[in-house]
Structure 1
Amino acid sequence: MLIIEVTNARDVVRQRIGRLGERLIGKVVDPEAQVEKALIQELDTAFREFGIEARIVSVQGPQLVGRQQLELPIQVRDDRTVTLSDE
């Protein structure tokens, strides 16, 4: 199992929407959700190219504490199953 924590979501969204939109970060735009959505799409494409089937879940809540602890609870934001067949 992999856990990927995006640590610069605000910076990524800020770069994409510019200075004017910067004021909206946290009010209208959820930077973590936006970056995770884009990342899920990229992972989906890459996994299909490599023949990997997987379930990618975007959750809100868990936080890494140091290197040895993961705090929960979680709230699922997005859930995608990558399959190789076109069902």
Structure 2
Amino acid sequence: MIIVEIINAREVVRQRIGKLGERLIGRVVDAEEQVEKALIQELENAFKEFGIEARIFSVDGIQMVGRNHMELPVQIREERQVSIKPDK
């Protein structure tokens, strides 16, 4: 299992949407959610290309504590099932 914590989501969104959009971060735009959504799409495409089947979760509420612990609760924002079988 791989866990990726995105630590610069606000900066990424700020670079993408400019000064006007910067004012919306945290009010209208959830930077972390937007970056995770884009990353999930890229992972899904790459997994399909390599023939990898996986479940990808965007989870809200988990915090890394040091190197060895996570804080919960888990609130799943999005789940995606990646399958190499053609869609029906």
Unmatched 5+ stretches in structure 1: none
| 1:74, distance to aligned residue in structure 2 (A) | 1.1
- Distance in structure 2 (CA, Å) of the matches to 1:63 and 1:41: 23
Deviations 1:36-74 (Å, cap 9, x if unpaired)?
A: 000000000000111100000101000100101011101
- Code of the residue aligned with 1:31 in structure 2: it is A
Unmatched 5+ stretches in structure 2: none
- Distance in structure 2 (CA, Å) of the matches to 1:23 and 1:55: 34
Q: Counterpart in 1 of 2:85? A: 85
RMSD of equivalent CA atoms: 0.6
Identity of aligned residues (%): 67
SS at match of 2:16: helix
Work out the number of aligned pairs and report it.
87
Q: Counterpart in 2 of 1:61? A: 61
- Distance in structure 1 (CA, Å) of the matches to 2:72 and 2:32: 17
Q: Counterpart in 2 of 1:11? A: 11
TM-score under structure 2 length normalisation: 0.97
